[in-house]
Structure 1
Amino acid sequence: MSKRIQANDVDVYYGTFKAVEGVNIEIAPRTVTAFIGPSGCGKTTFLRSINRMHEVLPGAHVEGELLLDGENIYASNVDPVRVRSQIGMVFQRPNPFPTMSIRDNVLAGYKLNGTRLNKARADEIVEKSLRGANLWNEVKDRLDKPGSGLSGGQQQRLCIARSIAVEPNVILMDEPCSALDPISTLAVEDLINELKEEYTVIIVTHNMQQAARVADKTAFFNIQGVGEPGKLIEFDETNTIFNNPSNQQTEDYVSGRFG
Structure 2
Amino acid sequence: MSKQIDIKDLDIFYGDFRAVDGVQMQIKPRSVTAFIGPSGCGKSTVLRTLNRMHEVIPGATVSGEVLMDGNDIYGAGVDPVNVRREVGMVFQRANPFPTMSIKENVLAGVRLNNKRLSKTEADDLTERALRGANLWNEVKDRLNLPGSGLSGGQQQRLCIARAIAVEPQVLLMDEPCSALDPISTLAIEDLINDLKDKYTVVIVTHNMQQAARVSDKTAFFNIAGTGKPGKLIEFNETSSIFSNPDKEETENYISGRFG
Residue 253 of structure 1 aligns with which residue? 253
Paired amino acid for 2:230: G
Distance 1:61 1:88 in 2: 20
Give 1:171 deviation, angstroms. Answer: 0.2
- Pair 1:83 & 2:116 matched: no
| 1:89-168 paired onto structure 2 within 5 Å | 89-168=89-168
Residue 14 of structure 1 aligns with which residue? 14
Distance 2:216 2:133 in 1: 20
Paired amino acid for 2:104: D
Paired amino acid for 2:144: D
- Pair 1:45 & 2:41 matched: no
Residue 241 of structure 1 aligns with which residue? 241
User: Unpaired runs of 5+ in structure 2?
Assistant: none
Distance 2:54 2:111 in 1: 23
Paired amino acid for 1:115: K
Query: Which SS does the other structure have where 1:225 is aligned?
Result: coil
Query: Which SS does the other structure have where 1:39 is aligned?
Result: coil
Describe the superposition over 1:59-100 as per-residue Cα deviations: whole angstroms up to 9, x where unpaired: 111100000000000012100000000000000000001111
Distance 1:38 1:202 in 2: 17
Distance 1:79 1:16 in 2: 24
Describe the superposition over 1:148-179 as per-residue Cα deviations: whole angstroms up to 9, x where unpaired: 00000000000000000010000000000000
Residue 30 of structure 2 aligns with which residue? 30
Give 1:113 deviation, angstroms. Answer: 1.2
Describe the superposition over 1:88-124 as per-residue Cα deviations: whole angstroms up to 9, x where unpaired: 0000000001111100000011121111111111111
Query: Which SS does the other structure have where 2:100 is aligned?
Result: coil
Percent identity reads: 72
Paired amino acid for 2:33: T
Paired amino acid for 1:156: Q
Give 1:28 deviation, angstroms. Answer: 0.2
Query: Which SS does the other structure have where 2:256 is aligned?
Result: coil
- Pair 1:198 & 2:198 matched: yes
User: Unpaired runs of 5+ in structure 1?
Assistant: none
- Pair 1:221 & 2:209 matched: no
Q: Which moved more, 1:213-222 or 1:104-113?
A: 104-113
Query: Which SS does the other structure have where 1:107 is aligned?
Result: helix
Give 1:10 deviation, angstroms. Answer: 0.3
Count the aligned residue pairs.
259
Give 1:221 deviation, angstroms. Answer: 0.2
Describe the superposition over 1:121-157 as per-residue Cα deviations: whole angstroms up to 9, x where unpaired: 1111100000000000000000000000000000000
- Superposition RMSD on alpha carbons, in Å? 0.5
Instruction: Give the TM-score of the pair, scaled to structure 2.
Output: 0.99
Residue 58 of structure 1 aligns with which residue? 58
Distance 2:109 2:252 in 1: 42
